[in-house]
Amino acid sequence: MSKTNGKLVLQIAKASRIYVGGLCQALALERAEVVYRGKELEVQELVAAQDLTDIEYSLHPAIRNLLGERSNLLIYAMLA
């Protein structure tokens, strides 16, 4: 995983659920890059994206099932 993608997953784990705009601000990236990287991470089953009023990201259900209810904290600790 690239350093930037790792930071993206870290921010998602930290927030639990975060919209693309929040990721843009947190990582100082353009929206198109965040969406592109989010799609890459979704294919890798690391994050899940939901189209609500905007794209909302969270950890992928497979990660949550594997690591349990504290998956966000574990991912955050591993990538921080």
Domain annotation for the chain: domains and CATH numbers = 3-79 (1.10.10.10)
- CB contact at 8 A, 54 and 31: no
Containing 24, the helix (H) or strand (E) segment is: helix 20-27
- Given a cut of 90, whether residue 52 has pLDDT beyond it is no
- Note the pTM of the prediction, 2 decimals: 0.83
57 band by pLDDT with thresholds 50, 70 and 90: very high
47 band by pLDDT with thresholds 50, 70 and 90: very high
Above pLDDT 90, what percent of the chain? 70
pLDDT digits (tens, 9 = 90+) for 2-37: 999 999 999 999 998 999 999 999 999 999 999 999
